[in-house]
Structure 1
Amino acid sequence: MSRIRSATSAVAALDRRTFLAAATATGVTAGLGVAFGPGTGSADASQPPTAHAAAGRVVEAPAAPSRAGTTLETFSAARGGIGYRRLADGPAWARGVRTDIVAGKGGREDRRTALASFVQLTDLHITDVQHPMRYEFLRSGRTGAWRPHEALTVVGAASLIERVNGLRGGPVTGAPLSFVITTGDNTDNNSTIELDWFLAVMNGGRITPNTGDPRHYEGVQNSGIKEFWHPDQALRDADKQRGFPRIDGFLEAALRTVHSPGLRLPWYSTIGNHDDLGGGVYSFGGGYLEELATGGRKLQIIPAAEAAKIYQGEREGADPHGKDMKELLRAHAKDMRRVTPDERRAPFSQAEYLAAHLDPAHTGPGPVGHGYTKANLEQGTLYYSFRISDDVIGLSLDTTDPGGHYTGSVGTAQLRWLERTLKVHKDDHILVFSHHYSRSMTNMNHDPAHPGEARHGGDEIIALFKRHPQVRAWLNGHSHQNEITPHGTFWEITTASHVDFPQLARVIEIVDNHDGTLSLFTTLIEAAAPRRTDFTDLSQTGLAALYRELSFNAPGASQKLAGDPGDRNTELLLPKG
């Protein structure tokens, strides 16, 4: 018997028939104790992490498997065929079985036992839409550079948390969900106030998504510039010409205080490029850009040719330190709008990101630090391991390149830590979490804090995982698109964002089929907000519904982010050995 006892390991002693019997029997009570492992940071990978109980956490007994609240039950579908389209309940997404790595054996549904059950959130992009250092001005050269629904990221995230809290257990096994993990881009623009909002949304509390003048909105949506949707005005802007509605009172409502219930489950955090870099792209450092972020001037629009040139440079990684962006901002200083300065918009450092997570005021349902430890803060690292259950270990990586650009990589020190940790946990099932997916890890820009350290890309990480077949899955985000890729010995599971439609999160269940195979079940969920919207309903629930519908209609948005059926609700088979 392992040194620790977890809910998922207790569930593992029950087969599916026992789950059903326990769930329906009279007098079944919640009595499973749960052990959660704090992150080990990078201080000592030679020993497994020590588990401890999450304060106040009580887990229900295994429930009957249920599709309720998932896309197995229904999914948002558009009505009509042209222009701005309204959403309603649509057809469910079926579960498909993928045998790319190994074939399944008959009867496994009656043999399987649960090893772990949890939820992945990714790319929340909690956004201060009035921040002076946002790059909305690029919309003149690329329509998709600005989203009409961005003022509602906080209410959208709170609605997603409502959905997670409402799930009784894994949709396949009924096993209690033991934790939630984010896989980066928790914030949008490396802004301290966005980080505060993110932590408050996750842990629960009141968030007022307003900066600058507390009485008035000061951003592109009341600028009079036709490139942007002006919901409160009769202006015939570009988005209204595409069918976007006029919604009187929208901006005032979008800046009202939001009440987040906070997650009821312990949660773990992973950093993304939007958390660590200016606009998710630039390694600015301090000075001029920090002054602009907290100051009283905001650039709202530039000529289309200039915007297209800057955007192309971003795509190609031509300006990782933001020199061209600084010059552009200086050149357009006279064109900037006057706004109310706000020190809360200051960029945060990696140390400040860690310190905020470790602040006892932000512990919420736990664990303290949400995976990060004092060792991380002392060593300046943003990667860690944590125990998920008796048989399963999680590894959270830092794939953001501090040298700039939105693509990713890891430094040599992190790669060596990863190698050591995989060796220590050779007898565990390992799940790896990161922001970047493998094909996006091509960034070899040197970390300014470690200029002599080499960087390592996705191909090298894949090769390492193949040498350690106990790695079962690599879960990530960044692309904002659902995609599941087999890599011979493990599955790479990339999940869509919660800022671009279809605005999803994923439930992951790992089971032992007791026939020499494992199954990873992936089930997508939407936020709890109703799919039908009412333009006169500006309550928190009404705004959360609008958040989804506006994102569906966002001009320039990709229509492929849901992925193919095999990237959505799946059973992914693996050899156990």
Structure 2
Amino acid sequence: MSRIRSVAGSTGLHRRSLLAATGAVALSAGAGYALWPGEGRAAAAAASGSGTEEAVPASSGGAPAAPLAPYTRGTTVAAAAAPRRGAGYRRLTEGPGWGRAVRGELAGPRPGRDDRRTALAAFVHLTDLHIIDTQHPLRLEYLRSADVHAWRPQEALTVQGAVALVERVNALRAAPVTGSPLHFAMTTGDNTDNNCRSELEWFLTVMSGGRVTPNTGDPRHYEGVQNSGLKQYWHPDTVLRDADKRLGFPHLDGFLAAAVREVDSPGLDLPWYSTVGNHDTMPLGCYASHGDPRLTELAVGGRKLMDLPAAEAHRLQQTIKKAEDPRGVRYGDFLAAHARSMRSVTPDEKRAPFTPAEYLRAHLDPAYRGAGPVGHGYSAENLDAGTQYYAFRIADDVLGISLDTTDPGGHYNGSLGTAQLRWLERTLTENRDAYAIVFSHHTSTSMNNTHRDPARPGERRHTGEEVVALLGRHRNVVAWVNGHIHRNAITPHTGSGGAFWEISTASHVDFPQLARVVELVDNEDGTLSLFTTLVESSAPHRTDFTDLSRTGLAALYRELSFNAPGSRTDLAGDPGDRNTELVLRKR
């Protein structure tokens, strides 16, 4: 049976065990500062309980008490959504759970470790929530004329789905393998979809708790592609025989009114941290945030393009994929040329893009503190320096490092600037006595974009291959946890000084809509294990088309994502990418 070291014994408290059982504390003076209106650094330091201005890792805060026994209820070990038999639109039901695969590429698993192991840390990984303002004028839905999966029928329900995921995380009473308390949750980017203020407000409220009205523009009714009369989009509550209804998608009276109705989020019970993604940094996730000013004008304005001939849509999609227009200038020209084809919508300033500084200030806003910590990893130092990376203590001998892998120069793939790469090297070196878990949005293979940062044009950008080499030089690195590719994938890496596992988790916007619990344990035999366990939202697997409550819509969100035309069927990954035990040698 897995165990956690007792917090009391004949020799008194064991510090590492105490931290694992009750939550983590700051390395020294915390850097999770709050910026209060009208106040600066001194007030931020006072809010943290520190008078120092030294930049040091923040704390992950306390974790709730939990039974010291494995807790698999609500995880994919117990059950997972599965389609019923049939053709066309397929309903979901509760299917069998997924087994656990043991992977020993980096170290051989040794017998008897189940009875010896000690839990070091446990956390929840969320990624690619893609909270979407579906009525936003800059959205690229019209690319569906060339690529059917360029628009998803489930997109109006991202808020309801995210709230159900928060409910599931809150219901996890302990880690699935060790029974350890869950210390924190980390969301690794693409928290928003269109880099707009409405989505950022919704995301922060979902995570911290409160009421969300997922609607912009005219508060009285929906103004988007799903009541446009265009047959390439699913029209759930009209009689239009659209392309998706021909595939079996249902007619649901009142769907759009329910989708934009106010919902309540309980907020995460756990302390939660935030990592930035390309959709959080750039309009449409691909255009430089300081690019063509016409995009901002269109974002808040009263005109929206909804339809485009397939040949033009294909050309635009290829331009985006090839990063031929990273600053969005050609895209601005394209929209100007199609001004007469746009439809009228209600203007809304909430659809304006937010800057990196505004993203930081929003996280530091006391209104969104929730379970904490202040800033959710970000600090006043980040604001002063214009950075979005930081380190924090998970436990006494486990360090978390959150990177900013977005490339402000444009395009959806990522890279690191030289200053951040050097900071990462320095942070790992200075904390060589702690195991390190690195978090980022992009995967190692999706960091191949080296457009120069407009704010730092003389700084070189570095690829994922270079980051893998850096991490591999440090024996204390045990995992690199990320998202971006919307697919479960686990990859072993061996470097010149050590070895680590890269753990990529699927998104929560595309089926199978998953998050992941990660547990780090010491096997007390010269090896460590990382246990990964996938979880779905709290929504029932079976849908009821007459149930348009928040819970009913969250269930429908999952089922629609399974049936989305053109959706990939490999995003769950292979068994070795799902529920696993990943073994590696101790440093």
Q: 2:546 aligns with which of 505, 513, 536?
A: 536
- The match for 2:129 is 124
Q: What amino acid is aligned across from residue 130 of structure 1 in structure 2?
A: Q
In the alignment, the residues of structure 2 paired with residue 567 and residue 484 of structure 1 have an alpha-carbon distance, to the nearest angstrom, of 5
- The equivalent residue for 1:474 is 480
With 560-569 and 32-41 compared, the bigger mean Cα shift is at 32-41
Equivalent in 322, 325, 332 of residue 328 of structure 2: 322
Bigger mean CA deviation after superposition, 116-125 or 316-325: 316-325
User: How far apart are 1:81 and its partner, in Å?
Assistant: 3.1
Q: Equivalents in 2 of 1:503, 1:61: separation in Å?
A: 26
DSSP-derived class of the 1:329 partner: helix
* Deviation by residue 1:338-366 (Cα, 9 ceiling, x = unmatched): 00000011000000000000111111110
Question: In the TM superposition, what whole-angstrom CA distance separates every residue of 1:204-234 from its partner, at most 9, and x where no partner exists?
Answer: 1100000000001000000000110000111
Q: Secondary structure at the match of 1:487?
A: strand
For residues 582 and 24 of structure 2, the distance between their equivalents in structure 1, rounded to whole angstroms, comes to: 27
Q: Give secondary structure in 2 for the equivalent of 1:490.
A: strand
CA distance in structure 2 between the partners assigned to 1:119 and 1:309 by the alignment: 40
- The answer on 1:254 being equivalent to 2:259 is yes
In structure 2, distance between residues paired with 1:149 and 1:178: 32
Structure 1 residue 324 displacement after superposition: 2.1
- Show the counterpart of 1:22: none
User: Secondary structure, in 3 states, of the residue corresponding to 1:507?
Assistant: strand
Q: Which residue does 2:42 correspond to in 1?
A: none
SS in 2 for 1:259: strand
How many residue pairs match? The answer is 549
Q: Supply the AA of the counterpart residue of 2:23.
A: V
The question of whether the paired residues in 1 share the 8 Å contact of 2:124 and 2:186 is answered with yes
Distance 1:198 1:403 in 2: 25
| Kept in 2: contact 1:208–1:258 (CA 8 A) | yes
Aligned to 2:555: 545
Q: Which residue of 2 aligns with 1:161?
A: 166
Instruction: After the TM superposition, list the runs of 4 or more consecutive aligned residues in structure 1 that deviate by more than 3 angstroms.
Output: 10-15, 31-41, 43-52
Tell me the distance in 1 between the aligned counterparts of 2:252 and 2:579: 35
Matched, 1:393 2:403: no
The CA distance in 2 between the partners of 1:400 and 1:506, in whole Å, is: 22
Q: 2:353, 2:400 → 1: CA distance?
A: 29
Shift of 1:308: 0.6
Taking structure 1 as reference, are residues 327 and 130 closer, same or farther at Cα in structure 2, changes over 3 Å only? same
* Alpha-carbon separation, structure 1, partners of 2:66 and 2:231: 55
Q: Which runs of 5+ in 1 are unaligned?
A: 1-9, 16-30
State the distance in 2 between where 1:303 and 1:277 align: 26
The Cα of 1:67 is off from its aligned counterpart by: 1.5
Residue 106 of structure 1 corresponds to which residue in structure 2?
111
Residue in structure 2 matched with residue 23 of structure 1 by the alignment: none
Equivalent pairs: percent with the same residue?
63
Decide whether aligned partners of structure 1 residues 39 and 271 sit closer, same or farther in structure 2, where only a CA change above 3 A counts: farther
Q: Which runs of structure 2 are paired with 1:515-526 in the superposition (5 Å)?
A: 515-526=525-536
Distance 2:118 2:369 in 1: 32
- 1:556 offset after TM fit, Å? 1.1
Do the aligned partners of residues 304 and 47 (structure 1) sit closer, same or farther apart at CA in structure 2, a change above 3 Å counting? closer
Contact 1:46–1:424, Cα closer than 8 Å, also in 2: no
Deviation at 1:66, TM superposition (A): 2.1
Structure 1 residues 443 and 471, CA, compared in 2 at 3 Å: closer, same or farther? same
Cα-to-partner distance string for 1:80-119 (whole Å, 9 max, x where unaligned) = 2310000000011000100011101100000001000010
State the TM-score, normalizing by the size of structure 1: 0.93
Question: Residues 482-501 of structure 1: matches in 2 within 5 Å?
Answer: 482-488=488-494, 489-501=499-511
How far, CA to CA, are the matches of 1:174 and 1:62 in structure 2?
6
CA contact (8 A) 1:281 1:320 kept: yes
**Of 88, 91, 95, which aligns to 1:86?**
91
Contact 1:45-1:417 at 8 Å conserved across structures: no
Q: Give the whole-Å Cα distance in 2 for the aligned partners of 1:58 and 1:146.
A: 39
Name the structure 2 match of 1:228: 233
Matched, 1:370 2:359: no
Q: Does 1:418 align with 2:385?
A: no
| 1:141 correspondence with 2:151 | no
**d(CA) in 1 for partners of 2:219, 2:68:** 46
The residue number in structure 1 matching 2:57 is 49
* 1:7-43 deviation digits (Å, cap 9, x = unpaired): xxx944479xxxxxxxxxxxxxxx96434445579x9
Structure 2 CA distance, aligned partners of 1:533 and 1:33?
A: 38
What is the match of residue 3 of structure 1? Answer: none
CA contact (8 A) 1:40 1:384 kept: no
Contact 2:63 2:182 in 1 (8 A): no
Whether contact under 8 Å (2:132, 2:156) holds in the other structure is yes
The one-character-per-residue Cα deviations of 1:144-188 (angstroms, maximum 9, x if unpaired) are 100100000000000000000000111000000010000000000
Return the alpha-carbon distance in structure 1 between the equivalents of residues 202 and 154 of structure 2.
17
Unaligned runs of 5+ in 2: 9-19, 34-44, 46-51
Aligned partners of 1:512, 1:35: CA distance in 2, in Å?
17
